[in-house]
Amino acid sequence: MTALIQLSGITKVLKGQEEPRTILDGVNLDVHAGESVAIVGRSGSGKSTLLSVLGLFDRADQGSYILTGDDISRLPERKAAKLRSSHFGFVFQRFFLLKHLTAAQNVAMALVNGQGWLPRRQRKVKVMAALEEVGIAHLAKNRPSRMSGGEQQRVAIARALVREPRILLADEPTGALDTETGALVIDALQAVTARGCALILVTHDRDHAARMGRIMHLEAGVLTERTGATA
Amino acid sequence: MRRLSGRGRSALIIGLQGIRARKTRTLLSMVSLFLGVLAVVVVQAGASIAERALLSDMELYEGVDGTVVMDMGGTSPRLGTIVTSTVAGRSDAVAMTSMQAIIGEPGVRAVNEGGAPFDGSWGDPGPPMECDETGCRELPAAEIQPKGQAIEVRLTALTGNVRQFRPYRPQSGQWLDFSTMPSLGPRLVLNKEAAKGFAQYSVPAEMRVPGASANMTPHFVGVVDDGDQQPRAYVRLDELSHWVPEGKLVDPNMGEVRVLMVAGTPVEQVLSTKLKAVGVEPMVRTVNSKKDMADQLSLMRLVFLAMAGLVLLIGVAGILNVGLATVGERVEEFALRRAVGTPRALLAGIVLAETLITGLLTAALAIGASALALKAVIAFAGSSQPFLQGMQFPWEAGVAGVIAGLVAGVLGGFIPAIRAAGIPIATVMRA
């Protein structure tokens, strides 16, 4: 089966005022549809940079990025934005909900992004379906200030899912939650793999990583796969 | 109607959400912009009102724009006959001829000799003169009549309704009715200055006109504002001609014969030909007051608009300031929007949509305030300033306000929009 994502030889060097620093050093990674992958590693190991490259927030200096068979290594920003909208969903450590919008409006934000236009009624159906999927449809009209951390993160997951992405990228989604709530969030995230969506989870939490199908370890910019015994 | 594109609608929806979320900031932007837009609206409205005021006065004595005016001088005894026979009964041309008339006690000099205004603004009229075809001479002392209860007016005889060309403003009573049979007693419509004289002095209703077969008993039917400072009365020419022979209808000394006509009427050519045949060379011109005045007003308007523009720029600086602060606060929001696929152009569009909506709202407020102020001015000063009566808020001022609001929105939102579009997505990753 062709991989959804194929990274090969991805290198990213940070060129600041100091000496150039290699953040990603020849990273290779294949991710298939419906697969869940955990990326673990110490702080500053390049996990978030890798996620940035995967999510087309940033571009690698070297290497190739094949997405569903197409080389997107040197994609212009306009096309990258289109792909982010059509193929990716993002969940961040902080939920980034807009406090002046209701849960439903926060989810709808991903639909009102200038990439095609959905009539209001269709938007509403999709938003409610996404909220239903993460089990908080009853909170649709609530503003973030009236929701718990777990509920807010589930709204963020619904926002990531509402466009039915093929890849869900989650950067420390449980970092701001207690253990129990974090586990519920991981449940919600893992559930999407059942419908063929690939899940790439960056986490420090070994338990959450262990629940993923594969665990990749990033150390000094080098990505290696860990077996169950070493995880 | 063409619908907005998906991006346009997205920008509008998100922009409106942004405005609703930051009402106080929007209000502050509007406050800073309000004076600037108001200045533009007021200057434009003021210019339009001034133009209308000047034009409305000019129309009274020059005629409405497009009117063809034919003036003719000369002492040909056939002048009156030619003009009246050519123009009488036509709706596309009106002839007007003026002569001296003294209304009041017979055998006395008028209190306003020479048809002077009653406020004495013309000064001493000098010794009484006697005029005929050969010229004017000072009257011998023995022939000078004593001053008495009489008023001298310029009597303007009309072949038709001149108000289609000169929109005299009715003050009281009614205007001359040309649809009825001519009356033996000439009906007069006075101008405001003449009416002032008749209100000031009680004079007998007897009218002397040089060359008339007898003194007439006039009937005053109304008063109009014709913009003239000199006392004047208007009369139907066919009513006057019962008493004054056609050859005498043109005053040889004050020979004012004028024909006002619509452009393109055959009267102009026919009359010119007839007059040239008797040695009278008519002078023809077309009234174009608006253009003449527009040239004069445009410079003044430009100067005032430039000043208003400066005030507007201060408002733009206010929007810019608030806009930059808002973008600074919304870095995460914009980064997140980019993360979910919003293109940079749409982010810029969202910021611009917010400032444009703010500009438009401000423009609506400024236009509303100006329109209300104009209504108040009309209510308080409408009776003393006739040009204000029935005045509507000039649409040009509304358009200028909307344009000012939009321009301010674009100028004030441009730099914040560029900033918003340049926010890196990685902001959300580093948070």
| Per-residue pLDDT reduced to its tens digit, B144-177 | 666 778 899 999 999 999 999 998 988 899 999 9
What 3-state class would DSSP assign to B372? helix
Residue A226: which residues within 8 A CB-CB, separation 6 or more? A40, A215, A216, A217
Q: What integer pLDDT is reported at residue A87 of this predicted model?
A: 93
* Higher pLDDT among residues B259 and A181, named by residue: B259
A30–B contact, CB cutoff 8 A: no
By 3-state DSSP, what share of chain B in percent is helix, strand and coil, each rounded to 5?
Answer: 50, 15, 30
Q: What do you get for the CA distance between the two ends of chain A, in Å? A: 26
Among B325, B104, B302, which residue's Cα sits nearest to residue B202?
B104
- Residue identified by tokens 């293109």 is B343
Predicted pLDDT at A230: 43
Structure tokens at B211: 């060359």
Degrees (nearest 5) of the Cα angle B192, B194, B200? 100
Residue B6 CA neighbour count, 13 Å, CB half: 12
Give percent above pLDDT 70 in chain A. 97
Question: What is the band of A231 on the pLDDT scale with cuts at 50, 70, 90?
Answer: very low
**Interface contact A58-B426, CB threshold 8 A:** yes
Q: Is residue B257 very low, low, confident or very high in pLDDT (cuts 50, 70, 90)?
A: confident
CB contact under 8 A, B340 and A82: no
Residue spans of the domains in chain A: they are 5-226
Tens-digit pLDDT profile for residues B24-50: 888 988 988 898 899 888 888 888 887
The mean pLDDT of B332-348, rounded to a whole number, is 91
CA atoms within a 13 Å half-sphere pointing along the CA-CB vector of B340: 30
Closest to A183 measured CA to CA, from A160, A205, A151, A208:
A208
B346 to chain A: which residues are within 8 Å by CB?
A: 113-114
Where residue B211 falls (left for φ over 0; alpha for ψ -120 to 50; beta otherwise) is left
Residue B353 has what pLDDT?
93
Residue A188: the pLDDT is 86
Give A203 to chain B, closest Cα distance, Å.
13
pLDDT at A1 > cutoff 70: no
B322: tokens are: 């608030």
pLDDT-derived band of residue B133, with 50, 70 and 90 as boundaries? low
One-character DSSP codes across chain A:
---SEEEEEEEEEE-SSSS-EEEEEEEEEEE-TT-EEEEE--TTSSHHHHHHHHTTSS--SEEEEEETTEE-TT--HHHHHHHHHHHEEEE-SS----TTS-HHHHHHTTTSSSSS---HHHHHHHHHHHHHHTT-GGGTT--GGGS-HHHHHHHHHHHHHTT--SEEEEESTTTTS-HHHHHHHHHHHHHGGGGT-EEEEE-S-HHHHHTSSEEEEEETTEEEEEPTTT-
Supply the pTM of this predicted model: 0.68
Q: CB contact, 8 Å: A112 with chain B? A: yes
Q: How far is CA B293 from CA A104, B288, B389, in A?
A: 60, 9, 21
Residue B63 dihedral angles phi and psi, to the nearest 5°: 105, 160
Residue appearing with tokens 């619908």: B3
What is the reported pLDDT for A103? 95
Q: Tell me: ipTM over 0.85.
A: yes
Say what the pLDDT of residue B211 is: 82
Distance CA(B266)–CA(B244), nearest Å, equals 28
Q: Does B13 touch chain A (CB under 8 A)?
A: yes
Which residues 19-38 of chain B have a CB within 8 Å of chain A?
Answer: 20-21
List of residues 6+ apart from B190 with CB closer than 8 A: B153, B198, B220, B222, B223, B224, B231, B232, B233, B234
Higher pLDDT, B246 or A169: A169
**C-alpha dist (Å) from residue A144 to A97, A102, A123, A188, B335:** 7, 7, 20, 19, 19
Interchain proximity A78–B343, CB inside 8 Å: yes
Across all residues in chain A, what is the average pLDDT?
89
User: To 5 degrees, how large is the angle CA A5–CA A7–CA A11?
Assistant: 150
The whole-angstrom separation of Cα B172 and Cα B194 is 13
Q: What is the pLDDT of residue A229?
A: 42
User: How many Cβ pairs closer than 8 A exist between chain A and B?
Assistant: 93
Torsion (CA) B311, B316, B321, B323 in degrees, nearest 10: 150
Q: Do B333 and A98 touch (CB under 8 A)?
A: yes
Give the contacts of B317 (CB within 8 A, at least 6 positions apart).
Answer: B32, B412
Count of other CB atoms within 10 angstroms of residue B303: 11
> CB contact, 8 Å: B422 with chain A?
no
pLDDT digits (tens, 9 = 90+) for A22-60: 889 999 999 999 999 999 998 888 888 899 999 998 889
pLDDT value, residue B106: 83
Q: What is the pLDDT of residue A89?
A: 93
pLDDT tens digits for A178-220?
888 888 889 888 988 998 999 999 998 888 999 999 999 999 8
| Mean of all residue pLDDT scores within chain B | 85
- Are A113 and B10 within 8 A, CB to CB? yes
> Contact A52/B425, CB-based, under 8 Å?
yes
Instruction: Give residue B146's pLDDT.
Output: 66
Q: Which one of B343, B344, B429 has the shortest CB-CB distance to A57?
A: B429
**pLDDT at residue number B429:** 63
Kindly state whether B11 is in contact with chain A, defined as any CB-CB distance less than 8 angstroms: yes
Residues with Cβ within 8 Å of B148's Cβ and at least 6 positions away in sequence, in order, are: B104, B105, B107, B108, B109, B111
Q: For A5-226, which CATH superfamily applies?
A: P-loop containing nucleotide triphosphate hydrolases (3.40.50.300)
Neighbours of B302 (CB within 10 A): 12
Enumerate the H helices of B22-78 as residue ranges.
Answer: 23-62
Residue A58 CA to residue A52 CA, distance in Å, equals 5
Residues of chain A contacting residue B330, judged by C-beta atoms under 8 Å apart: none
When mean pLDDT is compared across A117-121, B112-116, B260-264, the lowest value belongs to B112-116
Q: For residue range A62-93, list pLDDT tens digits in order.
A: 999 999 999 999 889 889 999 999 999 999 88
In this structure, what token pair is assigned to residue A204? Answer: 């420090």
